[in-house]
């Protein structure tokens, strides 16, 4: 959907889902928590002072002379300061005698493993830094990284950070075209890739896509190739270099330079559904400050004892911030897993938790709903007692999914933090704190200390408790995007033009009676039914709360009577059978009973799969096409394009059932 289609305002069907469940922090966790209620007060009294304190958790070669230079909408943080992100992630811990600590327990999909300590990772990063320099990469140059989830991916990122090159990771599941547009836009000089990686039990190739993408792109001077699967690869002698030839012979010594706090660290492209992807730019000092602080605060990280696992791909910002920069800057031990959750069996995630004694796990609601569908007897087979904090990210978590996660993974004792943020915000912005908040299932609760977030109406006025509208950020924050690569106008228009002086992330939100924040999904996904704005998220949550429903996607389809009508696509839980007219009626009545008659869906279709982007977000745009009987739009970012054929095929006989 085009960016400017976020125009219309909406008050939502707020507070129709009355949530009375509260989960206060476990006493032992609260007693020893990294962050208490006092942090909020301190940050409110002196926001910039609070962020200076957090910045001081890092090692700076030269301290900053000004905390914030704010020329709206452009921010510079910690100006005059000089810092090296890789040194903060590695050398600092090695120099402090923690070189033997495990940085990563890496688990390959086929079951091969590697254990990498901080000292080893530092050596690898120094070698890769020397190799990149030898290949002609200079400070400020862009380096594309198109890799599977292997340790060399992290090594390549940190080598860039160390020498001041700007990394641009492209998710390894993306197509040649997606890689090509990102190479054009960033003008990357080197591409780091692998022969292939393992996914769903087989070796999938990466190098051929790179060969295609760089063919007519002379800006790319070298392709550095890690051997992971041993597949045959085509080879261009002048251009291609094996990692084991170029990196392994290098010295493990590399003397780092400190970079300006505002030196670009990376570009991460967000895949707009129709528009050209936006190259979100993050810089060094402010990004590392907020990522490091939030990783420590939101997950209550105890670096000496915790085993932290973000089950996401490094190709997304979640991986950048909470597999790489957050955990490493805090000296944490992390798990990194190459593959999919159902290879070779549906208990793989829980087997990993048990094997490494994972204490903190962070994953997306789409994964959690998939686990619900597979059934609770699967996690029940594993010992998950090491867990002490669980996190959710990427979409609103339906209360039912939250409860399932808490009960079946967290043993009904582990706090779940629902963390709201975006590629653009760089780090978590709104979330419960595990040692402070009496969490509500499905609520992101309140902004973190030092973050000023509000919910406003169409006119930009704050809504009262119980009201709905748009989430906005009122004050600059350290890890905010510094712009869109090469396109300042688009930066201003996309984020700063909707409300004067406020950052607009594009999400709907509501404040409940206590003032706590609930996210309601992208504003583009709000429906207008008989003059009422209804959020797709609320209807989806009502459906998922039904015991027979595992997952639901809701869209507003044009309707001659009501303007838009609610059309739902549901996946049933394993034991619920194939559905049928009785079940469809039961579900419609259930939504009507939970949210009110206005929210009663016109149509409900039982499907086997839902169309999702590769980062797990439901592509409602395509479902809207189906619901309105239109030719399908662009399906190139779908994980599995056959899903839409199956859904379209079901359509004729399920129409007009009411």
Smallest gap from residue 617 Cβ to ligand WT7 (A) = 7
Out of 25, 410, 505, 611, the residue judged to bind ligand WT7 by CB under 6 A: 505
Report how many residues bind ligand WT7 under the rule CB under 6 A.
21
Residue (146 or 316) nearer to ligand WT7, CB: 316
| Segment contacting ligand WT7 by CB under 6 A, of 67-75, 227-235, 505-513, 556-564 | 505-513
Out of 444, 451, 643, 647, the residue judged to bind ligand WT7 by CB under 6 A: 444
Q: Which residue, among 117, 169, 167, has the nearest Cα to 148 in the 3D structure? A: 169
β 222-226/240-242 pair status: parallel
Smallest gap from residue 84 Cβ to ligand WT7 (A) = 25
Structure tokens at 526: 């709000």
Task: Convert 504-518 into a string of H (helix), E (strand) and C (coil).
Answer: CCCEEEEECCCCCEE
* Under rule CB under 6 A, residue 309 binds ligand WT7: no
Distance CA 180, CA 217 (A): 8
Distance CA 76, CA 92 (A): 25
Residue (196 or 442) nearer to ligand WT7, CB: 442
Decide if 11 contacts 469 (C-beta within 8 A). yes
Residue (243 or 362) nearer to ligand WT7, CB: 362
Residue (222 or 498) nearer to ligand WT7, CB: 498
Decide if 12 contacts 520 (C-beta within 8 A). yes
Smallest gap from residue 263 Cβ to ligand WT7 (A) = 23
Distance CA 544, CA 552 (A): 6
Structure tokens at 153: 């991916």
Interaction pattern, residues 599-618, with ligand WT7; x per rule: CB under 6 A: ----------------x---
Residue (283 or 615) nearer to ligand WT7, CB: 615
* Under rule CB under 6 A, residue 519 binds ligand WT7: yes
Region 377-416 residues binding ligand WT7, contact defined as CB under 6 A: 393-396
Smallest gap from residue 395 Cβ to ligand WT7 (A) = 5
| Segment contacting ligand WT7 by CB under 6 A, of 47-55, 346-354, 417-425, 539-547 | 417-425
* Under rule CB under 6 A, residue 422 binds ligand WT7: yes
| Segment contacting ligand WT7 by CB under 6 A, of 336-344, 448-456, 503-511, 538-546 | 503-511
Out of 420, 470, 499, 569, the residue judged to bind ligand WT7 by CB under 6 A: 420
Region 286-305 residues binding ligand WT7, contact defined as CB under 6 A: none
Residue (198 or 518) nearer to ligand WT7, CB: 518
- State how far Cα 28 lies from the chain centre: 29
| Segment contacting ligand WT7 by CB under 6 A, of 92-100, 144-152, 316-324, 630-638 | 316-324
Burial class (CB within 10 angstroms; exposed 0-12, middle 13-18, buried 19+) of 422? middle
Smallest gap from residue 294 Cβ to ligand WT7 (A) = 11
Q: Taking the CA atoms of the chain, what radius of gyration do you get in angstroms?
A: 24
Smallest gap from residue 431 Cβ to ligand WT7 (A) = 8
Residue (366 or 564) nearer to ligand WT7, CB: 366
Structure tokens at 646: 């199956």
Note the helical H segments in 532-641. Answer: 536-544, 581-595, 620-627
Residue (78 or 293) nearer to ligand WT7, CB: 293
Distance CA 393, CA 428 (A): 9
Interaction pattern, residues 556-595, with ligand WT7; x per rule: CB under 6 A: ----------------------------------------
Decide if 165 contacts 350 (C-beta within 8 A). no
* Under rule CB under 6 A, residue 507 binds ligand WT7: yes
* Under rule CB under 6 A, residue 158 binds ligand WT7: no
* Under rule CB under 6 A, residue 435 binds ligand WT7: no
Burial class (CB within 10 angstroms; exposed 0-12, middle 13-18, buried 19+) of 43? buried
Distance CA 618, CA 612 (A): 4
* Under rule CB under 6 A, residue 522 binds ligand WT7: yes
CA distances 491 to 71, 278, 290, 424, 498, Å, are 14, 9, 21, 10, 12
Partners of 144 in beta bridges: 168, 191
Smallest gap from residue 321 Cβ to ligand WT7 (A) = 8
Region 212-271 residues binding ligand WT7, contact defined as CB under 6 A: 270
β 468-473/603-606 pair status: unpaired
Task: Convert 197-244 into a string of H (helix), E (strand) and C (coil).
Answer: EEECCEEEECHHHHHHHHCCCCCCCEEEEECCCCCCCCCCCCCEEEHH
Residue (110 or 272) nearer to ligand WT7, CB: 272
Decide if 622 contacts 635 (C-beta within 8 A). yes
- State how far Cα 5 lies from the chain centre: 23
Residues that bind ligand WT7 (CB under 6 A): 270, 316-318, 393-396, 418-423, 444, 505-507, 519, 522, 615
């Amino acid at each position: 959907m085009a960016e400017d289609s976020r125009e219309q305002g909406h008050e939502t069907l707020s507070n129709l889902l009355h949530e009375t469940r509260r989960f206060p922090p476990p006493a032992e966790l609260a007693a020893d928590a990294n962050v208490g209620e006092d942090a909020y007060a301190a940050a409110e009294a002196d926001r910039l002072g609070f962020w200076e304190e957090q910045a001081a958790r890092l090692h700076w070669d030269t301290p900053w002379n000004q905390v914030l230079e704010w020329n709206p909408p452009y921010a510079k943080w910690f100006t005059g300061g000089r810092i090296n992100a890789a040194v903060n992630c590695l050398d600092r811990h090695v120099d402090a005698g923690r070189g033997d600590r495990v940085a990563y327990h890496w688990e390959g999909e086929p079951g091969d493993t590697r254990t990498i300590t901080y000292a080893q990772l530092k050596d690898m990063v120094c070698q890769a830094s020397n190799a990149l320099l030898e290949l002609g990469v200079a400070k400020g140059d862009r380096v594309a990284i198109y890799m599977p989830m292997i340790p060399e991916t992290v090594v390549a990122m940190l080598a860039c950070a160390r020498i001041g090159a700007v990394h641009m990771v492209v998710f390894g599941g993306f197509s040649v075209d997606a890689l090509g547009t990102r190479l054009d836009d960033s003008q990357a000089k080197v591409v780091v890739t692998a022969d292939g990686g393992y996914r769903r039990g087989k070796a999938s190739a990466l190098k051929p896509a790179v060969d295609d993408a760089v063919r007519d792109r002379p800006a790319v001077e070298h392709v550095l190739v890690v051997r992971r699967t041993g597949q045959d690869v085509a080879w261009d002698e002048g251009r291609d270099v094996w990692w084991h030839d170029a990196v392994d012979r290098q010295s493990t010594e590399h003397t780092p330079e400190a970079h300006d706090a505002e030196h670009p660290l990376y570009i991460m492209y967000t895949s707009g559904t129709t528009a050209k992807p936006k190259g979100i730019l993050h810089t060094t000092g402010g990004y590392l400050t907020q990522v490091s602080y939030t990783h420590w605060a939101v997950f209550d990280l105890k670096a000496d004892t915790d085993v932290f696992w973000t089950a996401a791909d490094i190709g997304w910002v979640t991986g950048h911030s909470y597999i790489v920069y957050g955990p490493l800057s805090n000296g944490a031990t992390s798990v990194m897993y190459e593959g999919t959750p159902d290879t070779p069996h549906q208990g793989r995630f829980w087997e990993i938790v048990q094997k490494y004694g994972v204490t903190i796990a962070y994953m997306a609601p789409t994964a959690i709903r998939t686990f619900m569908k597979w059934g609770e007897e699967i996690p029940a087979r594993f010992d998950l007692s090491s867990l002490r904090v669980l996190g959710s990210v990427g979409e609103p978590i339906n209360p039912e999914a939250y409860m399932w996660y808490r009960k079946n993974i967290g043993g009904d004792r582990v706090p779940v933090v629902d963390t709201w943020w975006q590629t653009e915000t760089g780090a978590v912005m709104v979330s419960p704190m595990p040692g402070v908040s009496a969490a509500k299932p499905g609520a992101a609760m309140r902004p973190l200390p030092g973050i000023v977030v509000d919910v406003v109406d169409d006119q930009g006025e704050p809504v009262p408790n119980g009201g709905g509208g748009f989430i906005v950020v009122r004050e600059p924050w350290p890890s905010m995007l510094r712009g869109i690569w090469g396109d300042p106008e688009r930066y201003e228009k996309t984020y700063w033009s909707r409300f004067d002086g406020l950052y607009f992330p594009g999400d709907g939100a509501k404040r409940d009676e206590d003032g706590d924040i609930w996210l309601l999904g992208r504003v583009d996904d709000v429906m207008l039914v008989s003059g009422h704005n209804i959020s797709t998220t609320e209807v989806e949550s009502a459906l998922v709360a039904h015991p027979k429903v595992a997952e639901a996607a809701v869209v507003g389809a044009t309707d001659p009577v009501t303007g838009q009508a609610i059309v739902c696509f549901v996946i049933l839980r394993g034991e619920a059978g194939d559905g049928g007219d009785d079940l469809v009626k039961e579900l419609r009545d259930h939504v009507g009973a939970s949210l009110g008659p206005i929210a009663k869906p016109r149509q409900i279709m039982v499907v086997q799969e839902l169309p999702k982007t590769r980062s797990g977000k439901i592509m409602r745009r395509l479902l809207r096409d189906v619901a309105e009987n239109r030719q399908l739009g662009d399906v190139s970012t779908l994980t599995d394009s056959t899903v839409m054929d199956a859904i379209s095929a079901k359509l004729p006989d399920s129409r007009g059932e009411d």
